[in-house]
Amino acid sequence: MELAEVARRAAAGFGPGLIQGPECSRAFVTIVVAAGIVLVGAQGAGAGTVTGRVSVTQRGGRLLQPLQSVLVFVDGVRVRVDPTQVSIEMKGKKFLPHVVVVPVGSTVRFPNLDPIHHNAFSVSGPNRFDLELYRRPHSRAVSFDFPGVVRVFCNIHPQMSAIVLVRDNPYFAWAQPDGTFALTGVPPGRHTLKAWQEQAGEASIEVIVPPDGEVRVALALAASRYRPARHKNKYGRDYHPAAHY
Ligand SMILES: [Cu+2]
């Protein structure tokens, strides 16, 4: 995509029709100021900032507002990031939080805070795992060595689900509730920028990041065709229909 197209889309994303009310305007100003501060420090390293707005269209064409758990990230750039450790609690027959993002190599702990047995498993490609059964006060953990979307379930309770987003560079950020986002310290050049949301999947756009300065883009996700789907258990079979969940 040419720069002109990127600029056109950016302009569309920040058009007066999409920024409404003092709250949105304030958020926009805050992000621009924050980006400016980062750029002063990043100029010597040759890094740019990607800012913008992401929208999620629901069934019927309505925009989802406010946004929650929408990740924006640069794809296709591999930069090592120190692994982290995060926890997803099993509590009240739920995984909490429902969505987390971690760098490659990070560990996710699954403490079971319920007095009943739970399991955590995934069959998401190379990140597949199975922690078997355990209950309070035990906790088990798994490391994720490949980038991607890891869907986590409990083999006993089909209503329990979580998602671990694994990224192989540091250029990712959650969109704000109003859809705005800012990625700082991005290497200059042509990149693929993606947005992800659970019900909408992914949208992508090509961006040309300047060696210092800022590029603005708009990303549009569509969750209009989302239908809740049953998932299989860890054996690839349906959950037992007679079980009490
Ligand atoms: Cu469970």
Query: In this structure, are residues 90 and 156 in contact, taking their beta carbons and an 8 Å threshold?
Result: no
What's the confidence (pLDDT) of residue 242? 63
* Token digits of residue 151: 């869907």
What's the confidence (pLDDT) of residue 227? 86
Report how far ligand 1's centroid is from the alpha carbon of 37 (Å).
45
Query: Does the predicted TM-score (pTM) go above 0.85?
Result: no
Q: Helix H segments across 70-170?
A: none
Report how far ligand 1's centroid is from the alpha carbon of 240 (Å).
14
- The architecture of the domain spanning 85-167 is Sandwich (2.60)
What's the confidence (pLDDT) of residue 169? 97
Contacts 24+ apart (CB under 8 A), 206-209: 206/1, 206/6, 207/6, 207/50, 208/3, 208/6, 209/48, 209/49, 209/50
Instruction: State which CATH number among 3.30.230.70, 2.60.40.10, 1.10.490.20, 3.40.640.10 fits the domain covering 3-74+177-222.
Output: 2.60.40.10
* Token digits of residue 23: 């709250």
Tell me the C-alpha distance between 193 and 237, whole Å.
36
Report how far ligand 1's centroid is from the alpha carbon of 238 (Å).
15
What's the confidence (pLDDT) of residue 228? 84
Report how far ligand 1's centroid is from the alpha carbon of 204 (Å).
34
Count of residues for the chain? 245
Report how far ligand 1's centroid is from the alpha carbon of 244 (Å).
11
Query: In this structure, are residues 121 and 157 in contact, taking their beta carbons and an 8 Å threshold?
Result: no
Report how far ligand 1's centroid is from the alpha carbon of 219 (Å).
36
Query: In this structure, are residues 157 and 118 in contact, taking their beta carbons and an 8 Å threshold?
Result: yes
Give me the sign of the Cα torsion angle 16, 210, 146, 173.
Answer: negative
Report how far ligand 1's centroid is from the alpha carbon of 157 (Å).
4
Q: Helix H segments across the chain?
A: 3-13, 21-42
Sheet of 107-111: strand order equals 85-87, 107-111, 139-143
What's the confidence (pLDDT) of residue 45? 56
- Which residues have CB less than 5 Å away from ligand 1 (the ion)? 118, 154, 156-157, 160
Domain regions of the chain by residue span: 3-74+177-222, 85-167
| Closest to 145 (Cα-Cα) out of 129, 164, 130, 126 | 126
Q: Answer yes or no: same fold for 3-74+177-222 and 85-167.
A: yes
Report how far ligand 1's centroid is from the alpha carbon of 119 (Å).
6
What's the confidence (pLDDT) of residue 244? 56
Residues of the chain with pLDDT under 50: 1-44
Tell me the C-alpha distance between 202 and 184, whole Å.
21
Query: In this structure, are residues 221 and 56 in contact, taking their beta carbons and an 8 Å threshold?
Result: yes
* Token digits of residue 232: 């299989």
What's the confidence (pLDDT) of residue 134? 97
